[in-house]
Amino acid sequence: MFHEIEDIEQERLRVARRPPPQDAPPVLSTFDVTLTVPAAEYEARLRSVLDAALGIALSADFAEEDLPVAAVPAWFAEVSGPLSARAPRFARRGRERYAAAIRGGRCGSGPTPGASPSSPATNCAGWPTCRAPRT
């Protein structure tokens, strides 16, 4: 799906706060989530990932080999990459539940289908991994 820069800017502003229901477009407008942490904590984590992704969409040169990932929350980069075992438990659990929902399997249960040693590293969803910023 392709969007104009203005559309992405508007979406980034929208996800930074909770808009009134009538202002929400059909994209990312509703989640049905059973929380195991306080709502504010979950909301902050979700918004931090969405903000980073939309920020990259607005500023990155997708013709480049690497994308800037400094704004990606460290826990998300870790759980999406080859060092996922070091990610916080909530992130690993979410990753496994996501994988089960979309592929019927567990992350880390084997190589990504179709991957080869010369292929870029991929995560459980089959997407290229995000290298965690070094601290």
Dihedral class, residue 126 (left if φ above 0, else alpha if ψ from -120 to 50, else beta):
left
pLDDT 10s digits, 70-82: 999 999 999 988 8
Closest CA to 71 of 90, 48, 87: 48
pLDDT 10s digits, 51-107: 999 999 888 888 888 888 899 999 999 998 887 889 999 999 988 888 887 776 545
Closest CA to 66 of 3, 129, 125: 129
Q: Cβ distance 84 to 78 under 8 Å?
A: yes
Share of the chain above pLDDT 90, in %: 25
pTM above 0.75, yes or no: no
